[in-house]
């Protein structure tokens, strides 16, 4: 049994990962920015004594340290820390973006991951068994650029560098640093960051998203299993590989997929 902390895990991929780790018999710590969100996640997971819910604004180093301290106090140690928390700006060109959206996205996605890595690595270096720290990739990690995603994509590009750098810094320790790359997953964040205000462009984008995308329920079991099994420093655990993507495009001529309709129908879309 391992203890796994997942930041930003009251919905989407984070919540899906929490559910998978609980199913595997592990202890899980879920975090969110509001107590209401944490309470909803705890009720959804129904994990009893094996799940701990904590409020945490990842933009605060002290808040993340408090999560580590409380997790270690309850479960004895932290074996895995997953830096999942992320937000996106409006789908707009940089000159049109409100400054507060830029600041919040950079602070959450990049500073939040830096703080989480710092807290987790420092704590795991003190544990005889070490541990694993994962960052989360997203659009922009591989250098692909798209109008309207400059801020979000820049944070994810930086996180790939951060992961590679930390893997080198701690290569001779018992702390493994790696990344999780879920690909295109039907979540609030995907819809918010992709849709924009151009209906025609959105209809075109949806065709690609439906070909390449998957649901939380499909992706999370793989990510959870591989995260537990990884032993290679700097490991990148990727669901949507180039080979899989090519196969999806080929099969799209014969089979139509739809992962977005149910998500689009939700009235409560928000990622900030």
Cβ atoms of 149 and 91 closer than 8 Å: yes
Give catalytic residues, as residue numbers.
152
What phi, psi does 29 have (nearest 5°)?
A: -115, 120
b/e per residue, 47-66, with b = 16+ CB within 10 A?
beeebbbbbbbbbeeebbbe
Cβ atoms of 190 and 213 closer than 8 Å: yes
Q: How far apart (Å, rounded) are the C-alpha atoms in residues 224 and 205?
A: 29
DSSP readout, 91-145? Answer: SS-GGGS-HHHHHHHHIIIIIHHHHHHHHHHHHHHTSTT-EEEEEE--TTTTS--
Nearest to 86 by CA among 114, 105, 59: 105
What does the DSSP 8-state code read for residue 223? H
User: What's the token pair of residue 134?
Assistant: 């994962």
Q: Which residues are bridge partners to 136 per DSSP?
A: 180
Q: How far apart (Å, rounded) are the C-alpha atoms in residues 64 and 56?
A: 7
Q: Which residues are bridge partners to 4 per DSSP?
A: 28, 80
SS3 68: helix
């Amino acid at each position: 049994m391992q203890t796994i902390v997942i930041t930003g895990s009251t919905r989407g991929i984070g919540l899906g990962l929490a559910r998978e780790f609980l199913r595997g018999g592990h202890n899980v710590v879920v975090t969110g920015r509001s107590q209401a969100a944490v309470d909803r996640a705890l009720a959804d997971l129904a994990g009893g004594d094996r799940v701990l819910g904590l409020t945490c604004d990842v933009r605060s180093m002290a808040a993340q340290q408090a999560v580590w301290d409380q997790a270690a106090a309850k479960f004895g140690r932290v074996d895995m820390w997953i830096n999942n928390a992320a937000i996106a700006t409006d789908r707009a060109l940089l000159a049109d973006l409100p400054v507060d959206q830029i600041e919040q996205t950079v602070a959450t996605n990049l500073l939040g991951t830096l703080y989480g890595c710092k807290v987790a690595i420092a704590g795991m270096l003190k544990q005889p068994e070490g541990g694993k720290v994962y960052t989360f990739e997203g659009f922009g990690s591989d250098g692909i650029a798209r109008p309207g995603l400059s801020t979000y994509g820049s944070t994810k590009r930086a996180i790939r560098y951060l992961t590679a750098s930390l893997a080198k810094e701690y290569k001779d320790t018992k702390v493994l640093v790696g990344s999780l790359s879920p690909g295109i997953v039907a979540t609030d964040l995907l819809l918010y960051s992709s849709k924009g205000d151009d209906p025609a462009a959105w209809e075109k984008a949806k065709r690609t998203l439906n070909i390449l995308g998957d649901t939380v329920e499909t992706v999370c079991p793989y990510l959870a299993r591989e995260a537990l099994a990884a032993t290679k420093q700097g490991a990148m655990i990727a669901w949507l590989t180039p080979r899989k993507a090519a196969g999806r495009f080929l099969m799209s001529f014969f089979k139509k997929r739809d992962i977005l309709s149910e998500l689009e129908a939700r009235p409560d879309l928000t990622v900030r």
